[in-house]
A and B are shown apart, each in its own frame.
Chain A
Amino acid sequence: MQLGRVIGTATATVKHPTFQGERMLVVQLETALRRPDGDPILAFDRVGARRGDLVLVTNDGRALQELFGPTTPGRWSVLGIPDCVSSNHGAKP
């Protein structure tokens, strides 16, 4: 699991059938120091995160396989929206 920032949304008409009706967010993963970590990812969201929100995401596809079915190629999903993050680096959401 990792923290990331929602930087936008993506829409797709032609997609894997298990993605039908699901919200796709563009999330930039962040390091503990809040620096961008790698390329932005597409994450599925049933929590209702919006652009600018800090989110907790998982890259374990099993979470999505539970929701979308075992044949889904989805991997990243939003687990929750943290209210507060405290670490030794002193970063705040």
Chain B
Amino acid sequence: MRIAEVIGRVTLSRSLASLRGGRFLIALPLPLDALTQAAQTRSEDLVVYDNLGAGAGSTIGVSEGREAANPFGKNKTPVDAYCACLIDELAVEET
């Protein structure tokens, strides 16, 4: 998982049936200097499936790749970025 900042949402008027019940967020993964020095740098944006209720400004843990579809169980779902947790607190210090 990478740590990402939510900056927006995508709404779909039509979608695959397997994706209903979730929302789509636009999120920017945080690089090292953003975590350690509160720098404004961000990595390339992602569209992330969410059913936890993250909103703009939330810091989330994004699961990417094959594991992103695991929560859907045996239903084959084409999700490759999944909001797995809403981060309350990050205690990070560069060592």
A: residues with CB less than 8 A from B are 5-16, 19, 24, 26, 28, 36, 39-42, 51-52, 61, 64-65, 70-76
Contact = CB atoms under 8 A, between A and B. Distances in A.
Given A7-B95, A42-B61, A12 B67 contact: no
A73 B70 contact: yes
A26 B95 CA distance: 12
Given A19-B85, A26-B3, A61-B67, A40 B73 contact: no
Interface of B: 1-3, 29-32, 35-36, 43, 52-53, 61, 63-68, 70-73, 82, 84-95
Main SS class of interface, B: mixed
Nearest to A69: B70
A51 B64 contact: no
